[in-house]
A and B are shown apart, each in its own frame.
Chain A
Amino acid sequence: MRKHLLSVDDLSLDDVNTLFTTAAEMHDVQRREVKKLPALRGRTVINLFFEDSTRTRSSFELAGKWLSADTINLTGKGSSASKGESLRDTVLTVASMGVDALVIRHSASGACHQVAEWVDCAVVNAGDGTHEHPTQALLDAYTLVRRLGTLEGKHVVLVGDLTHSRVFRSNVGLLGRLGARVTVVAPPTLMPSGAEAWAAASGFALSYDLDEVLPKADAVMMLRVQRERMSGGFFPTAREYTVGYGLTRDRLATLGEEVPICHPGPMNRGLEIAADAADAAQSLILEQVSSGVAVRMSVLYHLLAGEGASA
């Protein structure tokens, strides 16, 4: 493992497998009555969130606490630029308190990469703008592997607002590395610019037609679509989006009953995913959340406990 987790590109296949093995052990701990492990006792983890988050922040907080790290949350709304302090000054101030890891969420793409250049401690990217969210991709893949046994040769379909999705950007890299065949589906206005060249270079497929892709899926990952995108002219109405790209009750019927459904949350029920699909037996949405804590425990453990350590 490298010093930081900034992008899924920082992880080799071996790293991913190691993280998953440890995550499975952590997952078992999570089901015990007493969940705390002493692994990171005396270590300090700061969750530095410049952007609102409930689930990711609490997931990291639990992960740190269950490993016995001293974990605190700092939030700063808005960009540091608007407060007159540079990002560098902000993170150096926090890091100078004596921190072993900074878990950072920021509304600007690349912010975590920049922070990693400035500080000595480990940096974990908890979502940077529309760039990456590597622990989300890890927990998605971990959850799918547990359900499907392997991702090798499996066809995973990602649907939604790809342009603005860091979950998509991390997943498309990680799923490919784990041997999955990936198809991403969105209206042309929500496809990232240059997607054709990117897809050709990275070996994933693009489609504007969900109905054509869905019957061939081994797993479906629905991504959140923010309603405010309509004002940007990305699509005309919520209704039209749902008809074209939502996982509706009708589309659910075309999916095999064993095909898992994922969503990173928070869901817009009725927009990108129907209640029937979200609550279906094949939905992994709540499992993703519980896996999330285990995967983040594994990440913190491997970044902080050092090479070759065992849980």
Chain B
Amino acid sequence: MTDPILIQGGSLLGGAAADVLVADGVVAAVSTTPGELSADGVRVIDADGLVVLPGLVDLHTHLREPGREDAETVRTGSHAAALGGYTAVLAMANTNPVTDTAEAAERVHELGRQVGVVDVQPVGAVTKGLAGEELAELGLMARSRAGVRVFSDDGRCVQDARVMRRALEYVKAFGGVISQHSQDSSLAGAGACCHEGEISGRLGLPGWPGVAEEVIVARDVMLARHTGSRVHVAHASTAGTVEVLRWARSKGIAVTAEVTPHHLLLTTEELLGYDPTYKVNPPLRPAEDVEALRDALADGTIDAVATDHAPHARHDKQHAFGDAAFGMLGLETALGVVATVMVESGRLDWAGVARVMSHNPARIAGLGGHGRPIEVGEPANLTLIDPAASVVVDRDASASLSRNNPWHGRTLSAAVHTTVLRGVPTVLEGKLA
């Protein structure tokens, strides 16, 4: 067992200051009367000026283990997550081998447990080997010790409408959800790497049009309605997707959606220098899309921010733009980007940040121990934020093994001060505990 902790004077979800006593892994007491909770015999964290949030939950992380341990491991990815304020991450299935069996899911889950700084919840593949043809053992993964509830072929889209329909139907039996990487491969093939528009036309890069995402989102929304099942839209990136989501919500269809930090801030213009750091799938979009995504996150049309943290070994990014790997880092900078884009502008308050980075992702993923209110008896998964901080991102100061960090050199607002997983600090004063 660990020592009790008294978090003193932090602003709960940006509201009233309170003292929070953490003991035995849960919130033992909350008091708004200074001095009411005794500091005797407990470890005190001075949270004056800090904001206390429920531990962040990432619906979309690539930890690369097994298979690409030169890019990231469960250990290094867990450390990056904790430093980013996360207490739980969903580890995508596109590893080598693919997480498409109960055994593979349990292995990832167990690796996460051994590191023990965030809860690593495996995402199961929808189809065997991510091939898009036959369903993976969804039920066995759900019944495994890993208790998989989120299934995704992420990196690839489940193209076949029949396969998608069956997957949606099948996971109803155990409350599963399909997280779809929406990309119609006939409209945006494997070579597509730049938002299709004036910039792709000028640069001569193969275009990845927004409509290639939107037609799949629209199709899947109709399949969710038809099957009465739940679909989750991974990394929504266009204004058109937002429109489809609004319509689906208005019809009561069970669809949820996430947006990445990079799609909330970076635009296609970053590609003008052909720097593969900015090569990501779906691609960075124009400012109009970015604006629509911000609005949708603020008004709840988009439920969650998810990082799509995608580490890559240096040499996999040192190819010509079209040949380089897709993806960018995100775990350590997500909170800062959200603070910069959404909080500074007044579009979200800190309770809103808790909603999109903790409550909603935990609910979507079915993680009962995360994203809970900060109340007596709840699991003590907490993140303390310094809202006044301003951080210049240094890619070499990362816990990740990879350096494909698009935020390098940029200034972001706010900083993670402390992360607590079930009563145990994993990060203190911005450093691994």
A residues near B (Cβ < 8 Å) are 79-81, 86-89, 106-111, 113-114, 128-132, 163, 166, 169, 192-195, 197-198
Return 9 A-B CB contacts under 8 Å, by A number: A87-B323, A88-B315, A109-B321, A111-B274, A113-B273, A114-B274, A128-B204, A169-B202, A193-B196
In the A-B complex, the 9 residue pairs with the smallest Cβ-Cβ separation, listed nearest first, are A194-B198, A110-B274, A108-B320, A192-B201, A130-B204, A131-B204, A88-B318, A111-B320, A108-B322
Output the nearest chain A residue to B209 by Cβ-Cβ distance. Answer: A193
Output the nearest chain A residue to B201 by Cβ-Cβ distance. Answer: A192
Q: A86-B315, A89-B315, A110-B274 are in contact. Are A195 and B201 (CB under 8 A)?
A: yes
Q: A88-B315, A110-B274, A198-B198 are in contact. Are A193 and B321 (CB under 8 A)?
A: no
On whether the beta carbons of B204 and A166 are closer than 8 Å, the reply is: yes
Q: Is B311 an interface residue (CB 8 A)?
A: no
**Whole-angstrom distance from the CB of B408 to the nearest CB of chain A?**
15
Interface residues on B, range: 20 to 34
Output the nearest chain B residue to A192 by Cβ-Cβ distance. Answer: B201
Q: Is B319 an interface residue (CB 8 A)?
A: yes
Residues from chain B with Cβ under 8 Å of A128 in the complex: 204
Q: A89-B315, A130-B204 are in contact. Are A110 and B320 (CB under 8 A)?
A: yes
The CA of A192 and the CA of B199, in the complex, are separated in Å by 10
The CA of A81 and the CA of B197, in the complex, are separated in Å by 26
Q: Is B244 an interface residue (CB 8 A)?
A: no
Residues from chain A with Cβ under 8 Å of B276 in the complex: 114
The CA of A194 and the CA of B324, in the complex, are separated in Å by 24
**Whole-angstrom distance from the CB of A241 to the nearest CB of chain B?**
21
Contact of A194 among B202, B316, B318, B320 (CB under 8 A): B202
Q: A109-B274, A114-B274, A197-B198 are in contact. Are A81 and B205 (CB under 8 A)?
A: no
Contact of B201 among A79, A132, A193 (CB under 8 A): A193
Q: A193-B196, A193-B198, A194-B199 are in contact. Are A109 and B318 (CB under 8 A)?
A: no
Residues from chain B with Cβ under 8 Å of A163 in the complex: 201
Residues from chain B with Cβ under 8 Å of A113 in the complex: 273-274
On whether the beta carbons of A132 and B274 are closer than 8 Å, the reply is: no
Residues from chain B with Cβ under 8 Å of A169 in the complex: 202, 204
Residues from chain A with Cβ under 8 Å of B197 in the complex: 193-194
Q: Is B358 an interface residue (CB 8 A)?
A: no
**Whole-angstrom distance from the CB of A292 to the nearest CB of chain B?**
21
The CA of A129 and the CA of B204, in the complex, are separated in Å by 7
- 1/0 per position for B217-255, CB-CB distance to A under 8 A? 000000000000000000000000000000000000000
**Whole-angstrom distance from the CB of A17 to the nearest CB of chain B?**
25
The CA of A131 and the CA of B273, in the complex, are separated in Å by 13
The CA of A198 and the CA of B322, in the complex, are separated in Å by 22
Residues from chain A with Cβ under 8 Å of B199 in the complex: 194
Contact of A109 among B196, B316, B319, B322 (CB under 8 A): B322
Q: Is B383 an interface residue (CB 8 A)?
A: no
On whether the beta carbons of B319 and A87 are closer than 8 Å, the reply is: yes
Question: 17 extra interchain contacts, Cβ-Cβ under 8 A, other than A86-B318, A89-B315, A198-B198?
Answer: A79-B319, A86-B319, A87-B320, A108-B320, A110-B322, A129-B320, A129-B322, A169-B204, A192-B202, A193-B197, A193-B198, A194-B197, A194-B198, A194-B201, A195-B198, A198-B201, A198-B202
On whether the beta carbons of A79 and B207 are closer than 8 Å, the reply is: no
Residues from chain B with Cβ under 8 Å of A81 in the complex: 319-320, 323-324
**Whole-angstrom distance from the CB of B323 to the nearest CB of chain A?**
4
The CA of A56 and the CA of B301, in the complex, are separated in Å by 53
Q: Is B203 an interface residue (CB 8 A)?
A: yes
Residues from chain B with Cβ under 8 Å of A129 in the complex: 204-205, 320, 322
Q: Is B99 an interface residue (CB 8 A)?
A: no
The CA of A111 and the CA of B196, in the complex, are separated in Å by 19
Residues from chain B with Cβ under 8 Å of A192 in the complex: 200-202, 204
Which of B196, B197, B201, B209 is the most central at the interface, judged by chain A CB atoms within 10 Å of its CB?
B201
The CA of A81 and the CA of B322, in the complex, are separated in Å by 10
Residues from chain B with Cβ under 8 Å of A166 in the complex: 204
On whether the beta carbons of B204 and A106 are closer than 8 Å, the reply is: no
**Whole-angstrom distance from the CB of B69 to the nearest CB of chain A?**
18
**Whole-angstrom distance from the CB of B306 to the nearest CB of chain A?**
28
The CA of A110 and the CA of B204, in the complex, are separated in Å by 8
**Whole-angstrom distance from the CB of A149 to the nearest CB of chain B?**
31
The CA of A166 and the CA of B276, in the complex, are separated in Å by 20
Q: A86-B315, A113-B273, A114-B274 are in contact. Are A193 and B200 (CB under 8 A)?
A: yes
On whether the beta carbons of A114 and B320 are closer than 8 Å, the reply is: yes
Contact of B323 among A108, A131, A198 (CB under 8 A): A108
The CA of A166 and the CA of B203, in the complex, are separated in Å by 9
On whether the beta carbons of A131 and B319 are closer than 8 Å, the reply is: no
The CA of A198 and the CA of B324, in the complex, are separated in Å by 27
Which of B197, B198, B276 is the most central at the interface, judged by chain A CB atoms within 10 Å of its CB?
B198
The CA of A107 and the CA of B321, in the complex, are separated in Å by 11
On whether the beta carbons of B321 and A110 are closer than 8 Å, the reply is: yes
Residues from chain B with Cβ under 8 Å of A88 in the complex: 315, 318-319
Residues from chain A with Cβ under 8 Å of B323 in the complex: 79-81, 87, 108
Which of B202, B273, B320, B323 is the most central at the interface, judged by chain A CB atoms within 10 Å of its CB?
B320
Within 8 A of A (CB), among B186-202: 196-202
Which of A80, A109, A197 is the most central at the interface, judged by chain B CB atoms within 10 Å of its CB?
A109
**Whole-angstrom distance from the CB of A72 to the nearest CB of chain B?**
22
Output the nearest chain B residue to A168 by Cβ-Cβ distance. Answer: B204
Within 8 A of A (CB), among B311-355: 315-316, 318-324
Which of B202, B276, B322 is the most central at the interface, judged by chain A CB atoms within 10 Å of its CB?
B202
Residues from chain B with Cβ under 8 Å of A108 in the complex: 319-323
Q: A79-B323, A109-B322, A114-B321 are in contact. Are A131 and B198 (CB under 8 A)?
A: no
The CA of A79 and the CA of B322, in the complex, are separated in Å by 10
Within 8 A of A (CB), among B296-316: 315-316
Within 8 A of A (CB), among B166-214: 196-205, 207, 209
The CA of A106 and the CA of B324, in the complex, are separated in Å by 14
On whether the beta carbons of A110 and B202 are closer than 8 Å, the reply is: no
Residues from chain B with Cβ under 8 Å of A106 in the complex: 320
Q: A87-B319, A110-B321 are in contact. Are A194 and B200 (CB under 8 A)?
A: yes
